[in-house]
């Protein structure tokens, strides 16, 4: 922890656009590297590998081998990673409000009270 500010520490983990997009995709059910790399934002393979490693290192994701030759992994959000769900919901709501016509992610949609 390099600061007593929670915003600073959170941004150290997911302050780039790719990390939140990977978290979005994991929340939407993508779990394999090839599924994540196929997202419309076209993340580069080296960046995806780097972010997944970083996210695993800070406890946002875990990986499990689903194939042994060659070794291939699936990635899953931990409870710490799942705790970012409400953050993404707020970002989705803000994006829909200020960028009409953007895609709606049903998993992040909640009925307003």
pLDDT in tens, 41-98: 999 999 999 999 999 999 999 999 999 999 999 999 999 999 999 999 898 889 888 9
108 — pLDDT class (breaks 50, 70, 90): low
* pTM for this prediction: 0.85
Q: Is the pLDDT of residue 3 over 80?
A: yes
Domains with residue ranges and CATH for the chain: 6-108 (1.10.10.10)
| pLDDT value of position 14 | 83
Q: Which of 63, 60, 59, 53 is nearest to 81 (CA)?
A: 60
Average pLDDT in the 30-35 region? 96
Three-class SS of residue 32?
Answer: strand
Q: What are phi and psi of 56, to 5 degrees?
A: -65, -40
Cα Rg of the chain (Å, integer): 15
């Amino acid at each position: 922890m390099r600061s007593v500010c929670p915003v600073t520490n959170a941004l150290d983990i997911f302050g780039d656009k790719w990390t939140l997009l990977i978290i979005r995709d994991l929340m939407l059910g993508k779990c394999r590297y090839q599924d994540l790399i196929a997202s419309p934002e076209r993340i580069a393979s080296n960046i995806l590998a780097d972010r997944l490693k970083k996210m695993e290192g800070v406890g946002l994701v875990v990986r499990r081998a689903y194939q042994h030759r060659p070794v291939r992994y699936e990635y899953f959000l931990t409870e710490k990673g799942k705790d970012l769900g409400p953050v993404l919901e707020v970002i989705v709501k803000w994006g829909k409000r200020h960028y009409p016509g953007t895609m709606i992610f049903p998993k992040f949609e909640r009925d307003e009270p």
